[in-house]
Amino acid sequence: MPRAQSWSVRAAGGSSVGAESRFARVATPLAFGLAVLAIWQAACVVFHVPRILLPAPTAIGAAFVQNLPMLGADFVQTVVRSMLPGFAIGSAAGFAVALIVDASPFLRRGVLPVASLAGALPIVGIAPIMVMWFGFDWQSKAAVAAVMTFFPMLVNTVAGLEAPGAIERDLMRSYTASGPQTLEKLRLPAALPFIFNALKLNTTLALIGAIVAEFFGTPIVGMGFRISTEASRLDLDVVWAETLLAAITGSALFFGIAWLERRVTFWRPAFQSTTEKEMR
């Protein structure tokens, strides 16, 4: 899958799951994370690190709790109203165009190179243009997120539909399956891992698009707006709290999609016994 590879590497690291107990798999990174937090806190207290440099974790936690209403409003503006619609529109459009492109070999050969090139461009730079077109509110942010998520979904879906081998296709032909039937029974299921890969990638891209677009003009609410204004006011507690919110949002969406992937594509070897992998 040479085409899809460049897009899939970003999410490819998750498969190094061992055969150890579930507990060890969760506990080791958790312990590492807690250790880092403890060192951070201790360093802040012992060396009296100024808050402008690096607030202690407890200070960030306090800022998070104190500013909950404001964080909630920012979350609604940036995630619920800007990012999620953009993510849905961009991914759905990418999928639809992939189905159209897939129907014609000519289109596939023409669109794929252009789409892979577009995927490699700094698309987030269109943010000022979108703000100019659609105004300061969530519409322009959703538009940036939609364009950013369109190309990964298009490229991955087309590659995924190509994934079934000659043997599987021949089998469908020997059943005299029609084109749509082959698509439904064989090629779409085979494309699902690629599609989920694109969805996982797109959660991060959409969040980045929505937040960065706010640097180019916003109503006075939103995570990107808050981060840039509070950073210039040196109110780093709030900036860190906002970062924490962004991290929680990004992780929740990513692992939500990963959970859905396990439920939907339960038949994949990667999600079954992991003992063979552990032999390495």
Residues 105-134 that bind another protein (CB under 8 A): 106-111, 113-114, 117, 120-122, 124-126, 128-129, 131-133
Pick between residue 89 and residue 227 the one whose CB is nearest to another protein: 227
Based on the number of CB atoms within 10 Å of its own CB, is 146 exposed (0-12), middle (13-18) or buried (19 or more)?
buried
Residue 181 or 251 with smaller CB distance to another protein:
251
Q: Does 31 bind another protein (CB under 8 A)?
A: yes
What's the closest the beta carbon of residue 78 comes to another protein, in angstroms? Answer: 9
At residue 52, φ and ψ (nearest 5 deg) are -70, -25
Largest CA distance in the chain: 75
Kindly identify the residues of this chain, within the stretch 239-258, that bind another protein according to CB under 8 A: 239-240, 243, 246-247, 250-251, 253-255
How far apart are alpha carbons 3 and 42 in whole angstroms? 47
Distance of alpha carbon 113 from alpha carbon 220, whole angstroms: 40
Binding of another protein by 211 (CB under 8 A): yes
Which stretch, 24-32, 56-64, 161-169, 262-270, contacts another protein (CB under 8 A)?
Answer: 24-32
Select the span of 1-9, 63-71, 187-195, 265-273 touching another protein (CB under 8 A). Answer: 1-9
Complex with another protein: residue 55 or 186, whichever CB lies closer:
55
Packing angle of the helix pair 236-264, 188-213 (nearest 10 deg) = 170
How far, CA to CA in Å, does 235 sit from each of 78, 208, 240?
20, 22, 9
Among the residue ranges 164-172, 181-189, 212-220, 261-269, the one whose residues contact another protein (CB under 8 A):
212-220
- Name which position in 46, 167, 220, 234 contacts another protein (CB under 8 A): 234
Q: How far apart are CA 139 and CA 68, in angstroms?
A: 25
